[in-house]
Amino acid sequence: MTTKIVVIGAVAAGASAATKARREDEHAEIILFEKGPYASFANCGLPYYIGGTIRERKNLFQVSNEYFHKRFNIDLRVNHEVIKINRKEKNVEVVNHQTGESFNEEYDKLIVAVGGEVIKPPIEGVDSQKIFTLLTVPDADEIREELQNEPESVVIVGGGYIGVETAEELHHRGLKVILVEMMDQIIAPLDKEMTMPLVQHLKELGIEIILSDGVRKFQEEGDMIKVTLQSEREFDADFVILATGVRPRLKLVKDAGLKVSEIGVVVNEFMQTSDPNIYAAGDIVESTHLVTGEKVRFALAGPANKQGRIAGAHAAGKTKKKFKGVLGTSIVKVGDFTAASTGLNEKECQKRNISYYSVYLDKGDHAGYYPGSEDLTIKLLVEEETGKLLGAQCIGRKSVDKQIDVFATALQAKMTVEDLEDLDLAYAPPYSSAKGPVIMSGMIASNHLRYETDLISPQDLKSALEAEKDIQLVDVRTDREYEEGYIGGAKHIPLNSLRERIGELNPEKYTVVYCRKGYRGYLAYKILIANGFDTVENLTGGILAWN
Amino acid sequence: MTTKIVVIGAVAAGASAATKARREDEHAEIILFEKGPYASFANCGLPYYIGGTIRERKNLFQVSNEYFHKRFNIDLRVNHEVIKINRKEKNVEVVNHQTGESFNEEYDKLIVAVGGEVIKPPIEGVDSQKIFTLLTVPDADEIREELQNEPESVVIVGGGYIGVETAEELHHRGLKVILVEMMDQIIAPLDKEMTMPLVQHLKELGIEIILSDGVRKFQEEGDMIKVTLQSEREFDADFVILATGVRPRLKLVKDAGLKVSEIGVVVNEFMQTSDPNIYAAGDIVESTHLVTGEKVRFALAGPANKQGRIAGAHAAGKTKKKFKGVLGTSIVKVGDFTAASTGLNEKECQKRNISYYSVYLDKGDHAGYYPGSEDLTIKLLVEEETGKLLGAQCIGRKSVDKQIDVFATALQAKMTVEDLEDLDLAYAPPYSSAKGPVIMSGMIASNHLRYETDLISPQDLKSALEAEKDIQLVDVRTDREYEEGYIGGAKHIPLNSLRERIGELNPEKYTVVYCRKGYRGYLAYKILIANGFDTVENLTGGILAWN
Ligand SMILES: Cc1cc2nc3c(=O)[nH]c(=O)nc-3n(C[C@H](O)[C@H](O)[C@H](O)COP(=O)(O)OP(=O)(O)OC[C@H]3O[C@@H](n4cnc5c(N)ncnc54)[C@H](O)[C@@H]3O)c2cc1C
Ligand SMILES: Cc1cc2nc3c(=O)[nH]c(=O)nc-3n(C[C@H](O)[C@H](O)[C@H](O)COP(=O)(O)OP(=O)(O)OC[C@H]3O[C@@H](n4cnc5c(N)ncnc54)[C@H](O)[C@@H]3O)c2cc1C
Ligand SMILES: CC(C)(COP(=O)(O)OP(=O)(O)OC[C@H]1O[C@@H](n2cnc3c(N)ncnc32)[C@H](O)[C@@H]1OP(=O)(O)O)[C@@H](O)C(=O)NCCC(=O)NCCS
Ligand SMILES: CC(C)(COP(=O)(O)OP(=O)(O)OC[C@H]1O[C@@H](n2cnc3c(N)ncnc32)[C@H](O)[C@@H]1OP(=O)(O)O)[C@@H](O)C(=O)NCCC(=O)NCCS
Ligand SMILES: [Ca+2]
Ligand SMILES: [Ca+2]
């Protein structure tokens, strides 16, 4: 008897499930329903397609509609929307949007991979024809059409990665771009201070960024649209792109009475829902966070593809492969910068009352003596008692993707910062240094863990100064560096004179040392502690992290 | 009582040990003896300095001689060679090469970090003034001086990474470069087939590469030097660079009666030799291989720096940090290519009679639809029963350093290929794909491990064909691909027609399928197995790996 597998949604998770099911069961009947006109398209490429970086529209399609039939013997039906799952009857109700007809299709196994839907905030005027969203190929087509009118300006609402990518791409095309974000930072997976250099960079490129302000009203005015913010600031633009996020499309599964949590569809490790004949995968499901063990949902393509693959295999009855969980590893190009993160950020550590410490490191992507080295900034979050890595963030112009992938691999292996210190990574001058950024961050974090140094974060130093705590603050940079600016109240003793001039400091006072990046501060820490100073802390990341 | 720490050798391991000892013991007396005129120089930068990529000579020095005193309060004495260790008396005998004087210096703790010395093969004429080596700054100075004479040609002997880097750099400077290597491949850490595209590329750049041929004789002829090979081929060149490797400088430790194995100085995890007051670190010591547990020695800067740090800390009495071992992770720029490896290669697996299988993958460094994607080639070695990763190699034009660092991290964590499959790595179109190269290689290797596919390596297929085994070889590529060349004896059935034309094949025959890279071969494998074929194998890496 052949198994009949029906898949709903034909992009990341759904298409992966269908092709995998075919590989695992050559004789199954596989039907793949897709509401829109296209299957297997590169959602993630859409910002780059509207910007023109991706030149050819056809490049957006990974497996053509034709190949689903020819290569995979999958009955792909585009423009077919599933509107109901009848679990008792084991069938789904389908509308063919081309003919308007509807019909029922039976299944033995059903895989739901309907993804996310755009969140349209309930703002006055949000339904204007001049407001676009970007989720599908037709969405991108519409924006490309709008660009035919040679618009001069656009307001982008939302500073997540899609908003930022789109801003950069449209700026690149010559438009005046204004990006509006309600939060006080862009790219939420990163901590705020890590995003500040990115905002700075986007501004330098000529993109206007407005933080901590939301849209109150949209108003069409002739050929233009007026955007009024909460702060009463107003902008006129040719059009608007809403990049205010997506939420999981849960109606189908909820109506079918399948178990759904606050976060998303509840599934087991084989991606089975509460009905073992029904699977769910991709943006709609909740997953286990590999650091906290909590249930979470990240709308990302990697997990969607892997989950689809596991659902498809299991539905076809062939594998014991399980989906273990996610880290939320993500990355985004921000002009000439890259920003990436994996695991927990500081906000999340705080929310969970985890005892953690943070480490900042600025270091060249490769040996400084080989041309072209660019500094990148790493931030680690580390569990206080155990030294277990909790999360990492990285920004810079080069090699950020490498650092974050190594951190993600380390997180998956539940490594401590002492394990990072031991890593045997590749070094030749064009690629890294003998103790490259990941290893060095591990060394710094391990020193703190082993009580061989004591770090203070910029945030904690700020609080301490604001609380007017009695701090002996010592700047150990050179004269020139000091003259260019220092932290208020700091006494200046260059590192190389510290041994001679140590008598100028009071060993009984709580002392904080700092330099530019943290290295000289660390050396100063060691000298002071060895000379009987009671309590010394080194500002992690130095004045660079402070600013 | 202050401790007196004496360090011999002031570069990677020695300088790291001395600075670390200072951090851990502010009051220790630390003397750092260096035979040559410079400390803390970038050995790894020397090829790039003679080539001119590194413009400024001063960039070669990481910590200046002055800073050792000023910043670290270390008594650095350059041009001081230690010629004997008197363990009973706990002193060393030192020659000051500037004055010719010699004296004894006492120690409480001694750290030996004397590195490697050039292997000069016993070839007729090897002592010619026209033959150079490249280990130190004075060596580089001499070559730079030779380059002042505007030479036109150079013979480089040795195809290890220093030979290759130097070849490329001198070619870049406009010299005609001939590289001679005795083995049948360059860059020994890689398996031969992985180096063939590199040789091809170097040839295309205009560098002559001669493999499987050694030098028999050097002969000065006027301003030129004639190089005669074993094969009787002869070349005239303006000068020669010997890059035939280094061996550990063991005389000092051996004379002192310290334990030395076939491989190098025997040390414990704190880098203590058989005399607990004497430490050794860097190129002279043996280390534990983290995959095999065997003792090995790789002359690499990362381990040297880490070992020096651990030796310095322990000598200063302050840390419990241990040196765990090495993977031999290494990387080299080869023209526009990068080549890298970590862990065991296939030659090493074979020598140890490990049951392993190999997986080849050609895949873009990032999503093909985003411009600039370049294929890279990955080779994995995997333990047959357990799926444990044994080693990885990678070549390509982009992002090779990232892939190899992720593999090295995975090796350190003793991951299986199923763990690689699960990795949650960063994806956005400019950086990777939803299932990036590492993950995809893990998927392919896991399928083989789980008996969901059966791979055959190009080597095994070659042997089988040579043994005239009765193989039904099936090429599933398109007509056009097939016409451009195929493996002799292959029957051609394009994948998309395989289901219809399956009757043309004999299901009882041992069948091997192949395509360009392995993906379509895998799909064909699945179709054939599902149709009752007894034994099917898919050529891993496709015809690309075959060639
Ligand atoms: C502009 C953009 C950029 C992105 N960039 C990145 C990135 O750089 N990196 C990254 O990791 N992720 C990125 N993502 C997110 C990533 O694309 C998603 O996480 C992933 O596609 C989710 O896969 P899915 O299969 O769950 O949903 P989708 O890929 O959205 O597929 C769901 C499909 O189901 C169809 N469908 C919905 N309801 C029905 C129904 N009732 N009947 C039939 N069909 C239905 C939809 O039409 C849709 O085609 C981006 C997303 C967007 C929109
Ligand atoms: C040209 C070149 C390129 C390289 N490229 C790379 C690369 O890209 N990546 C990589 O990982 N590794 C590379 N290496 C290898 C790396 O430099 C070494 O592994 C590392 O420097 C070894 O450190 P060490 O401290 O053991 O020895 P060294 O760094 O060689 O230092 C030993 C020092 O001890 C001194 N010495 C010796 N005997 C005495 C004595 N009796 N008394 C006093 N002093 C003494 C020597 O003069 C020398 O300065 C390269 C090496 C060279 C030569
Ligand atoms: C393309 C798509 C249909 C999946 O199709 P697919 O056939 O699974 O294609 P992939 O390229 O992912 O191939 C993966 C399979 O081929 C195998 N494979 C790939 N290369 C191989 C090789 N060289 N040798 C052997 N096997 C290989 C893999 O092991 C895997 O098989 P498995 O799942 O059975 O283990 C689906 O991912 C999709 O529609 N993607 C586009 C949408 C999307 O992902 N959007 C979000 C990101 S923009
Ligand atoms: C440079 C050299 C002298 C080592 O000096 P060093 O003072 O240890 O310098 P590094 O840059 O390695 O700094 C590492 C130390 O500073 C700390 N550190 C670095 N940046 C820091 C920061 N931002 N905040 C806090 N601490 C920091 C590290 O934790 C480490 O200290 P630890 O070992 O006590 O944990 C030695 O490596 C050398 O001579 N190298 C050149 C030769 C060579 O390596 N050749 C081969 C490669 S070309
Ligand atoms: Ca602290
Ligand atoms: Ca086999």
Q: Return the axis-axis angle of helices B192-205 and B161-172, rounded to nearest 10°.
A: 10
Listed residues: CB within 5 A of ion ligand 6 = B 454, 456, 537
Residue B1: pLDDT over 90:
no
Residue type, A485: G
Q: Find all residues with CB under 8 Å of A174, minimum gap 6, and list them.
A: none
Residue B324 to residue A422, Cβ atoms within 8 A: yes
Cβ(A387) to ligand 4 under 6 A? no
Distance B16 CA to ligand 4 centre (A): 7
Q: What is the pLDDT of residues B382-410, one digit of tens each?
A: 999 999 999 999 999 999 999 999 999 99
CA-CA distance, B377 to A206, in Å (whole number)?
Answer: 39
Mean pLDDT of chain B: 97
Residue B285 has pLDDT above 80, yes or no: yes
Is B42 in contact with A369 (Cβ distance < 8 A)?
yes
Extract the tokens encoding B402.
């990232």
Among residues B437, B425, B364, the alpha carbon closest in space to that of A300 is found at B425
Site to substitute for ligand 4 among B54, B63, B64, B306, most atoms within 8 A of C-beta: B63
Q: What is the pLDDT of residue A526?
A: 96
Distance from CA of A370 to the nearest CA of B (A): 6
Rounded mean pLDDT of chain A?
Answer: 97
Residue B320 pLDDT greater than 90, yes or no: no
B421 interaction partners in chain A (CB closer than 8 Å): 306, 321
Q: Residue A424 and residue B305: Cβ atoms within 8 Å? A: no
Q: Angle A161-172/A192-205 helices, nearest 10 degrees?
A: 10
Mean pLDDT of A74-80: 98
Site residues for ligand 2, CB cut-off 6 Å: A 427-428; B 8-14, 33-36, 43-44, 46-47, 81-82, 113-116, 134-135, 162, 249, 252, 282-283, 299-302, 304
User: Which ligand has the shortest distance to the CA of B64?
Assistant: 4
In angstroms, rounded to a whole number, what is the distance separating the alpha carbons of residues B205 and B488?
31
Residue A495 φ/ψ, nearest 5 degrees: -50, -45
Strands (E), B304-440: 330-334, 337-343, 356-364, 375-383, 389-396
Q: Above pLDDT 70, what percent of chain A?
A: 100
Q: Which amino acid is at B16?
A: S
Question: Which of B217, B226, B281, B275 is closest to B249 using CA atoms?
Answer: B281
Distance CA A132, CA A244 (A): 11
List Cα–Cα distances, A189 to A105, A159, A298, A416, in angstroms.
Answer: 41, 11, 10, 22
pLDDT at A1: 76
Nearest residue in chain B measured CA to CA from A434:
B302
**Average pLDDT over every residue of A67-75:** 95
Query: What is the enclosing helix (H) or strand (E) of A391?
Result: strand A389-396
Residue B351 and residue B422: Cα distance in Å, rounded? 31
pTM above 0.95, yes or no: yes
What DSSP character marks residue B264?
Answer: S
Output the DSSP codes for A324-379.
--B---EEEEETTEEEEEEE--HHHHHHTT--EEEEEEEEESS-TTSTT--EEEEE
Distance CA B255, CA A103 (A): 90
Over residues B57-68, mean pLDDT: 93
For residue B319, pLDDT over 80 is answered with: no
For an interface test with B, the pick among A63, A395, A405 (most B C-beta atoms closer than 10 Å) comes out as A405
**Cβ-based burial of A429 (10 A; exposed 0-12, middle 13-18, buried ≥19):** buried
Nearest partner of A512 among A543, A486, A545, A538, judged by Cα: A538
Q: Two tokens at B393?
A: 């190699």
Angle of helix A400-412 relative to helix A437-449, nearest 10 degrees, comes to 50
In this structure, chain B runs to a length of 547
Task: Give tens-digit pLDDT for B478-511.
Answer: 999 999 999 999 999 999 999 999 999 999 999 9
Cβ separation of B338 and A406 shorter than 8 Å?
no
Identify which of A443, A446, A457, A515 to mutate to test ligand 4's pocket (most ligand atoms within 8 A of the CB): A443
Mutational pocket test of ligand 4: of A447, A522, A538, A544, the residue with most ligand atoms within 8 Å of the beta carbon: A522
Chain A residue numbers with beta carbons less than 8 Å from the beta carbon of B73 are 499
pLDDT at A320: 83
Pocket lining: A138 vs ligand 1, CB cutoff 6 Å: no
CB B422 within 8 A of CB B389: no
Are A209 and A179 within 8 A, CB to CB? yes
Q: A241: Cβ below 6 Å to ligand 1?
A: no
Cβ pair A428:B44 closer than 8 A: yes
Question: Looking only at Cα atoms, what is the longest distance across chain A?
Answer: 89
Token couple for A17: 């499930």
Distance in Å, alpha carbon of A44 to nearest chain B alpha carbon:
7
**Cβ–Cβ gap A367/B42 under 8 Å:** yes
Average pLDDT rounded to a whole number, residues A453-482: 95
The torsion defined by the Cα of B424, B427, B431 and B432, in degrees rounded to 10, comes to 70
Closest-CA residue of B relative to A24 is B526
Instruction: Answer whether B396's CB lies under 8 Å from B195's CB.
Output: no
At A132 the pLDDT is: 98
Residues 6+ apart with CB under 8 A from A527: A498, A499, A502, B26
Encoding tokens for residue B436?
A: 């990036």
User: Contact A245/A161 with Cβ under 8 angstroms?
Assistant: no
Tell me if B40 sits within 8 A of B10, measured CB to CB. yes
Distance B63 CA to ligand 1 centre (A): 52
pLDDT at B469: 85
Beta-bridge partners for B217:
B124, B228
Nearest residue on chain B to A59, alpha-carbon basis: B369
Beta bridge mates, B209: B179
By C-alpha distance, which of A43, A22, A39, A51 is closest to A76?
A39
Q: Quick check: CB of A391 below 6 Å from ligand 1?
A: no
For B495, residues 6+ apart whose C-beta sits below 8 A from its C-beta are A71, B476, B477, B515, B520, B523, B524
Whether residue A22 contacts residue A73, with contact meaning beta carbons closer than 8 Å, is answered with yes
Q: Where are the alpha helices (DSSP H) in A383-494?
A: 400-412, 417-422, 437-449, 458-466, 479-483
Query: Does B45 score more than 80 pLDDT?
Result: yes
CB contact under 8 Å between A301 and B27, yes or no, is: no
Identify the residue whose C-alpha is closest to ligand 3 atom 29: B444
Which ligand number lies closest to the CA of residue B450?
Answer: 3
User: For residue B318, is pLDDT > 80?
Assistant: no
| Residue B508 neighbours by CB under 8 Å, 6+ apart | B534
Please, what sign has the CA dihedral across residues B41, B44, B48, B50?
Answer: positive
Structure-block tokens of residue A528: 């002071």
Cα–Cα distance list, A293 to A154, A284, B52 (Å): 41, 19, 53
With a CB cutoff of 8 Å and minimum separation 6, the contacts of B8 are B14, B33, B82, B92, B110, B111, B112, B113, B114, B252
Instruction: Express each pLDDT in B421-463 by its tens digit.
Output: 999 999 999 999 999 999 999 999 999 999 999 999 999 999 9
Measured between beta carbons, the chain A residues lying within 8 angstroms of B368 are: 59
Distance B498 CA to ligand 3 centre (A): 19
**pLDDT of res. B294:** 97
Whether residue B23 and residue A523 make contact (CB cut-off 8 A), yes or no, is yes
- Is B394 part of the annotated catalytic residue set? no
| pLDDT at A438 exceeding the cut of 90 | yes
**ipTM associated with this complex:** 0.98
Instruction: Give A-chain residues touching B418 at CB under 8 angstroms.
Output: 321
- How far are the Cα atoms of A41, A92, A482, B450 from residue A13, in angstroms, in the given order? 11, 19, 55, 22
CA of A12 to the centre of ligand 1 (A): 6
Instruction: Work out the burial of residue A228: count CB atoms within 10 Å of its CB; fewer than 13 is exposed, 13-18 middle, 19 or more buried.
Output: middle
Tell me how close the Cα of B8 comes to any Cα of chain A, in angstroms. 20
Q: From B318, which residue of chain A is nearest by alpha-carbon distance? A: A452
Q: What is the pLDDT of residue B468?
A: 84
Backbone phi and psi for residue B480, each to the nearest 5 degrees, phi listed first: -65, -45
Digit-coded pLDDT (tens) for A188-234? 999 999 999 999 999 999 999 999 999 999 999 999 999 999 999 99
SS (H, E, C) A195-244: HHHHHHHHHHHCCEEECCCCEEEEEEECCEEEEEECCCCEEEECEEEECC
Residue A105: how many other CB atoms lie within 10 Å: 17
Give the chain A residue whose CA is nearest to the CA of B433: A302
Cβ(A181)–Cβ(A158) below 8 Å: yes
Cα separation, A407 vs A416, whole angstroms: 11
Q: Rounded to a whole number, what is the distance in angstroms from the first to the last CA of chain B?
A: 68
Chain A CA closest to residue B24: A526
Query: Is beta strand A102-106 parallel, antiparallel or unpaired with respect to A246-248?
Result: unpaired
Longest dimension (CA), chain B: 89
| Whether pLDDT at A345 is above 80 | yes
Cα of B455 from ligand 6 centre, angstroms: 5
A530 in Cβ contact with B26 (< 8 Å): yes
Question: DSSP 3-state assignment of A86?
Answer: strand
Sign of CA dihedral A318, A321, A323, A327: negative
The pLDDT score that the predictor gives to residue B335 is 97
User: Does residue B450 sit in helix, strand or coil?
Assistant: coil
How much is the average pLDDT of A146-161?
97
Listed residue (A355, A387, A367, A392) closest to A452, CA to CA: A387
Number of H helices, E strands in chain B: 17, 30
Q: Which residues of A touch B372 (CB under 8 A)?
A: none
- Counting ligand 3 atoms within 8 A of each CB, the residue from A58, A63, A78, A306 with the most, and so the one to mutate, is A63
Tell me how far apart the alpha carbons of residues A390 and B427 are, in angstroms, rounded to a whole number.
20
pLDDT band at A318 (very low <50, low <70, confident <90, very high): confident
Residue A55's Cβ-count burial label (10 Å; 0-12, 13-18, 19+) is exposed
- Region of B517 (left: φ > 0; alpha: ψ -120 to 50; beta: rest) is alpha
Token couple for A484: 């260019």
> What pLDDT shows up at residue B547?
86
- B233: closest CA of chain A, how far (Å): 33
